[in-house]
Each structure stands twice: as structure tokens, then as C-alpha cells.
Amino acid sequence: MVEGNQTEKGITRRKFTLGVMIASMAGAFASLFSLLKVLAPASKGAGYVSTIKPGDRLVYAKGGNAGSPVKASSMSLGDAVLVYPVGKTSNPANLVQLIKLNESDFKAPTKINLTDQGFVAYSAICTHLGCTVSWVKNTANPSASITECFCHNSMFDPAKGAEVIGGPAPIPIAQIGVKINGDSLVFTSDFTGPIGPQV
């Protein structure tokens, strides 16, 4: 009887110890998993999902006329503006840089069929770490103007498919189709490649 009680107590104690060990190991695995999640880099382009659809009209993203349709006639050679698709201005992945160059300026890999009368558009999100790009107008030679990200000085050539011409950006900025409609512009395609940070 005494032996039996001792055996039952022994088994109960072993079960309890085993339970504590399993619970401890589960806790350790959970902590390790959390740590790995923190240390692992975010996946490329994470969080940048554009909702632009062909036919969406372009509106100004900044300034006193933010939200108004972009006027094609207001842009001269070497100009650029930040735009959104109308009604979809709360999604940062929809921010686009619209640029006016000469049609004859475009060289591969620019997708000419996605341009219209010198208007070309690219994502405004730098492919390095996701800052918004800026426009550096070359007043002496507007066709030589470039897109630059001042966070870490990545530079992109808008006449050559926004290929990287300097800095740490790993890939070009994706192009998106535009066309003139009256005096405004509409999008005609999705982005040609990934958008958002690609490191």
C-alpha cells in the first residue's frame, strides 16, 4: 500500500516534471521565434500594394491643387509632379512621379508604349528603403533631368526606364502606363515591376 502510494506519487512527480520541461521548451521556442522575426529583414516590397487601375485619372498629390486633375498643358519639358490616382490618395503605394520629356529622349528599357507625347510615369517609392523620390531638373538641358532619392542619394534615369545611375538602389523604379485624355491624364496599365524597398 505504502509502496503503491510511493509509486503513484513518483509517477505524478515525473509527469509534473515532464510537463514543466515541455512548457519551458515551448516557451523557449516561442521566444526564439519572436527573436528571429525581429532579426529577419522584411520581405521585398512588403506593405506596398498598389490599387491603381487602368482608366484611373491622375490628380496632383501635393500643393494647393492637391486632388485636382493633372493638366497636361501645364507641364513643360523637364517638369515632373507627384500624382495619385483619383480617389485612391490614402495608399502610399499609389504615389507616382509623372515626368515630361521629349519623345525622342526615350531609350530602352523605357516602355515607349506606356508613354504618351513625352509623358512617362514611374513609382515615386525608392527601391532602396522606400523614401519618396525627388526631381532634379537640369535647367540647361531639361532632357538630362533625373530622379533622385535624397535619403541615400540613389539616382535614376527617367529616359532609360528609370535605371539606377548611382547610389544603393538595387533595381530600377517600376514604370506605369499613362496617356493623355483631353487635357488630363489617365493610367493605362499596372506597374511593370515590383514597387517599394527591394533590399
Sheet with 96-100, strands from edge to edge, namely 58-60, 80-85, 96-100, 119-123, 175-181, 184-191
Give the residue with the Cβ less far from ligand FES, 118 or 196: 196
Q: How far apart are CA 196 and CA 179, in angstroms?
A: 24
Helix (H) or strand (E) holding 147: strand 146-149
Shortest distance, CB of residue 150 to ligand FES, whole angstroms?
8
**Which residue from 57, 144, 76, 141 is spatially nearest to 107, judged by alpha carbons?**
144
Backbone angles phi and psi of 107, in degrees to 5: -130, 160
How open is the CA angle 109-111-115, to the nearest 5 degrees?
Answer: 135
Shortest distance, CB of residue 172 to ligand FES, whole angstroms?
13
Give the residue with the Cβ less far from ligand FES, 149 or 185: 149
User: Where do the H-state alpha helices sit in the chain?
Assistant: 2-39
Give the residue with the Cβ less far from ligand FES, 142 or 167: 167
Shortest distance, CB of residue 124 to ligand FES, whole angstroms?
11
Shortest distance, CB of residue 128 to ligand FES, whole angstroms?
3
Q: How far apart are CA 172 and CA 122, in angstroms?
A: 9
Do the Cβ atoms of 171 and 194 come closer than 8 Å?
Answer: yes
Binding region for ligand FES (CB under 6 A): 126, 128-131, 149, 151-152, 154, 167-169
Give the residue with the Cβ less far from ligand FES, 132 or 143: 132
Shortest distance, CB of residue 191 to ligand FES, whole angstroms?
17
Give the residue with the Cβ less far from ligand FES, 127 or 145: 127
Helix (H, G, I), strand (E, B) or coil at 199: coil
